[in-house]
Amino acid sequence: MLILLPTLFLLITALALLLLRLGKPQFRYGWLTAASGTILTVAGVFLWRIGFPYEYGLPAWQPATIFHYSPAWLADGFSWPYALALAGLSAAVIWTSIVRAESDPLTWAASLLVTAFGLLAVSAANPLTLVLAWTAIDLVELVAMLRSTQNPDQTEGVMVAFAARLLGTALVLWAAIRSAAGGVRMDFASIPPEAGLYLLLAVGLRLGILPLHLPYQQETNIRRGFGTILRLVSAASSLALLTRIPSRAIDTPLTPYLLVLTALGGLYAGWMWLRASDELTGRPFWLLGMAALALSASLRANPAGSAAWGLTLSTGGGFLFLYSARQRGSLWLALLSGLGLSALPFLLAASGWPSGSTALAVFILPYLPIQALLMAGFVRHALHPGEVSLESQPGWARGLYLFGLLLLIAIQILLGLWGWEGAAVVGVWWAALASLGMAAGLLVLGLRFLSRTAPAGSGGRWADILRLNWLYRFLWGLFRLAERLGRALTGAIEGEGGILWSLLLLVLLLSLFAGGGR
């Protein structure tokens, strides 16, 4: 039951905020309630370290012939760091909201609810638990995005994204079915080899990197707080699955081709992140680029390395997206957070570069520019002025805001040293130095030649081809054509001539059967 304690803290706090909002709209201590709940959640995740690994499951669902699984959760060396990162992210969102003039308890409650679903996803012990948690996150995201859309084109993109997420979820179910057909009941403590590739593709689909797609380019009403929670929790809940996939499960002839495709998508995402007009506009590209690095680690037989990039995505990205009030004296915080992305020895991303297969170690090279682009973009965005000046805030507000940011940095450093088995390593030091040198050069070029007003979503014809928008438009056109044909057929059958059409079809069927009997 200890494993569900942080989730209960979040759910109880979210429910309290909702009831206070409905029953006492003038209640003054909503922020204090939310902030206290997030600190308790962080403390609850730390309690997982007492005696893990351990598993907790609900009673078996009946009938057993239909339900082969029941919800279960696993606390171990890979679920704990992701849970700590998400708990710290939710706390940082609430504590830094004090300078963003966010005072809606419903928004805070929604952020805590999404984080609760994320904790259930990263600690899922079997496919059923993961699918339920993913579906809950996807539904919240669907509702939030539909409420923020302003035209039919954006609504179309939201539905395409939701369909891609559902397809990724379906691949997890298919992997479980394939395992059951082979006489193996799949759980995430021991994934059979035949299921590994399906799970990898499921993560790639949900993150938009395999194949590359980017439906969310405009987030008009979903910005710093809730938007950061929604995007990063959804990404982390998918990336956590990569740590469960053993290297032997993805040892296929397709691995080199998948590495090349992932590298192309990551290079595109890194370039668009560097040239984005601001960090929030470039947020989808940050997610794509970091997802490419995490997938490459798994494909190179280093599943633990995927955790390094996934946790950097959550903690480093969370810091930058919440870093809205700035001053010269706080720049060192951004540089310290960005340093975790460098993969220098004993930092969070240091274990991301080693390869479990000597033959695949050469595929580190095309991913070094991706890391360099992401680092250069991180520093470029951090150097620009924020939405408000930190000096203009009261002293108590500055203290609470800086506490939220420092909490993410502390978690980042802690996880780099003590996060999981395989952390606190020297790593591939030459790769870290090479990418750091490239990042410095790209940063100089970016500061000199890239305009702050450069549109993040534009990249010309080649960017559109690489992003496969032409393919999605073609498939969407086929769907529209089939929909029109179906409506025309339905109208013909249900109209005044429906009886005649039915008789004609009946005559044709009788003719076919009669011809087959001769």
pLDDT tens track for 207-227: 988 777 665 655 545 678 899
* Distance (Å, whole) CA 356 – CA 81: 21
What's this model's pTM, rounded to 2 decimal places?
0.88
Predicted pLDDT of residue 457: 46
Domain membership of residue 503 (yes or no) is: no
Asked which of 26-30, 138-142, 409-413 is least confident by mean pLDDT, the reply is 26-30
Note the helical H segments in 182-254. 193-207, 225-239
Domain membership of residue 508 (yes or no) is: no
Domain membership of residue 447 (yes or no) is: yes
Q: pLDDT class for 231, splitting at 50, 70, 90?
A: very high
Residue identified by tokens 């360099």 is: 372
- pLDDT over 70 (residue 469): no
Give the number of domains in the chain: 1
Q: Which residue did the predictor score with more confidence, 465 or 350?
A: 350
The predicted-structure confidence for 81-129, as pLDDT tens digits, reads as follows: 999 999 999 999 999 999 987 888 999 999 999 999 999 999 999 999 9
- pLDDT over 70 (residue 282): yes
Domain membership of residue 377 (yes or no) is: yes
Predicted pLDDT of residue 127: 92
Amino acid at site 308: A
Closest CA to 133 of 107, 114, 160: 114
Q: pLDDT class for 458, splitting at 50, 70, 90?
A: very low
Q: What's the chain's average pLDDT?
A: 86
Segment 346-350 mean pLDDT: 93
Q: Which residue did the predictor score with more confidence, 61 or 331?
A: 331
Domain membership of residue 346 (yes or no) is: yes
Domain membership of residue 217 (yes or no) is: yes
Q: Which residue did the predictor score with more confidence, 93 or 445?
A: 93
Predicted pLDDT of residue 9: 97
Which residues constitute the domain of residue 241?
2-467
Instruction: Please state the separation of Cα 168 from the chain's center in Å.
Output: 13
Q: pLDDT class for 6, splitting at 50, 70, 90?
A: very high
Q: pLDDT class for 270, splitting at 50, 70, 90?
A: very high
Predicted pLDDT of residue 487: 67
Segment 284-292 mean pLDDT: 94
Asked which of 113-117, 188-192, 229-233, 306-310 is least confident by mean pLDDT, the reply is 188-192
Q: pLDDT class for 501, splitting at 50, 70, 90?
A: low
CB crowding 86-104: b at 16 or more within 10 Å, else e: bbbbbbbbbbbbbbbebee
Note the helical H segments in 275-327. 283-299, 303-322
* Distance (Å, whole) CA 3 – CA 8: 10
CB crowding 210-233: b at 16 or more within 10 Å, else e: bebbbbbebbeebbbbbbbbbbbb
- pLDDT over 80 (residue 498): no
Domain membership of residue 258 (yes or no) is: yes
Note the helical H segments in 47-104. 79-96
- pLDDT over 70 (residue 307): yes
Domain membership of residue 144 (yes or no) is: yes
Segment 30-54 mean pLDDT: 93
Q: pLDDT class for 503, splitting at 50, 70, 90?
A: low
Asked which of 148-157, 360-369, 423-432 is least confident by mean pLDDT, the reply is 148-157
Asked which of 118-122, 188-192, 488-492 is least confident by mean pLDDT, the reply is 488-492
- pLDDT over 70 (residue 471): no
Asked which of 232-236, 263-267, 510-514 is least confident by mean pLDDT, the reply is 510-514
* Distance (Å, whole) CA 277 – CA 267: 18
